[in-house]
Amino acid sequence: MTTILQPDDYLPRIDAHARRAAPWADARADRRARGDYHPVWDFLFEYYPLRPAHLKRWHPGVGVALADAADTRQATWRDYTTASDGTVTLDVASFLAHRRRDVEMVGRLLRAVDKRSPHFDCFGMHEWAMVYKTDHPRHDLPLRLGAAGTNAVVEDHPIKCTHYDAFRFFTPAARPLNLTVLSRETQPDNDQAGCVHVSMDLYKWALKLGPLVPGELLLDCFELAAQARRLDMEASPYDCRGLGFGVVPVETPEGKAEYVARQRELTAAAAPLRARLVATVDAALEG
């Protein structure tokens, strides 16, 4: 079944999407124009590569057509088709012809996350393991406890990272300290909903699904990724207070309690977004 939106329905949604994305997209574009860089927020545009202008693009999503839309920008985009009456629709078959593997992979990975219980006992140690015994931290930011203090925190805590895309950035000295040896191949066996990066990566999977995902869902995933990124950096060994961020001192009992509480909030917020992405995959593959 295809839902047909009239201009009075979709034009306000296009405008609302652009306004909602603008604070993030415009700030990123302005920094780049000045040759500036934000070590926290620019991660969302580099690790998850997306141009600021593309974040402002609204897609109707799979199963939605736009009436009288021949003159819209959507009509000019790849994998869209325009009927003789001016109705514009995403050509799902065309998209799947070059992206089916990606779509199937995303569906498998998202379903796998829901099959296992979430864990809330890592306390964000993955970021600490990325700077353990190294003179070259990933970010040009001061270490809140200094190098020796950071190393001591790592050595005093069990490292229980379950997310390969965090584990792969561990320093060589930290990798053997992780409870599990992780690999890309075993990612579906280890990703779990309590992981901050698994919540953050819903934005990654929304990007990979491209125009199948309605614009509102993409921005929901982006905003959740921003919340997760904030917690990730506030609980990290870096001192981000100069950038206006707080500190979650996970080396203390109070910091651990705060981390877990915020981790649980992210997990709860991620669950319905993951379900909506799974439904998007199903609609595309079964259509």
Find out whether 248 and 234 touch, Cβ atoms under 8 Å: yes
- Please give the pLDDT value at position 262: 98
- Which residue do the tokens 């579906």 mark? 188
Rounded distance between C-alpha atoms, residue 254 and residue 195, angstroms = 19
145: Cβ–Cβ under 8 A, 6 or more apart, which residues? Answer: 152, 153, 237, 251
- Please give the pLDDT value at position 138: 83
Least Cα distance to 59 among 70, 38, 74 occurs for 74
- Please give the pLDDT value at position 151: 97
- Please give the pLDDT value at position 150: 97
- What does the domain layout of the chain look like in residue ranges? 3-286
- Please give the pLDDT value at position 48: 87
- Please give the pLDDT value at position 111: 96
As given in the structure block, the two tokens for residue 113 are 């996350």
- Please give the pLDDT value at position 170: 97
- Please give the pLDDT value at position 54: 93
- Which residue do the tokens 């949604």 mark? 13
At 211-227, the pLDDT tens digits run 999 999 999 999 999 99
Q: List, for the chain, all residue ranges whose pLDDT scores fall below the cut of 50.
A: none
- Please give the pLDDT value at position 61: 97
